[in-house]
Structure 1
Amino acid sequence: MKKETFKSYEDLPLMLSVPEMAAALGISRAGAYELARSEGFPALRIGNRIVIPKDSLQKWVNQNIGTN
């Protein structure tokens, strides 16, 4: 499987898959799936797929900086 590498926000696709989100955030794939299934996280289910809108991910990150 090809490992995604993103150099900037503009490189991200409009809708990210969970593995793409993991690469963008620098977290494990398992951690990304756990995050995507957590309450309040901006993930969408489309059939069996989970996708995350790029803009919603950026907003979520900004809102959760410094929170535990």
Structure 2
Amino acid sequence: MSENKRLNNYDELPLVLDVADIQRIMGISRVTAYELVHTPGFPAFRSGRLIKVSKIAFFEWMAKGNGRVPENSN
């Protein structure tokens, strides 16, 4: 997903998100986004060296609201 592309709605998101997408969706820093994807229970997976997240799994995780979000390190 383009760094400058505005996230207007769910349907415009790719099926597989990357850390930059998570960062923009949640409005968090890059460091915090990387901490989040390494949090136990977060639905991330690796594709080679890249960290990816299924769009569906990410929004299900957010809807549950029971994941632990790392302290803000900005």
Please say whether Structure 1 and Structure 2 have the same fold, judged by a TM-score greater than 0.5.
yes
Cross-structure match for 1:37: 38
C-alpha distance in structure 2 between counterparts of 1:30 and 1:11, whole Å: 25
Cross-structure match for 1:20: 21
Structure-1-length-normalised TM-score: 0.86
Query: Residue type matched to 1:61 in 2?
Result: M
Secondary structure of the residue that 2:17 maps to in structure 1? strand
Q: Which protein has the bigger helix share? A: 1
CA shift, 1:16, in A, is: 0.6
Structure-2-length-normalised TM-score: 0.80
Backbone CA RMSD of aligned residues: 1.9
How much identity, in percent, do the aligned residues show?
A: 34
C-alpha distance in structure 2 between counterparts of 1:34 and 1:4, whole Å: 23
Equivalences, count = 67
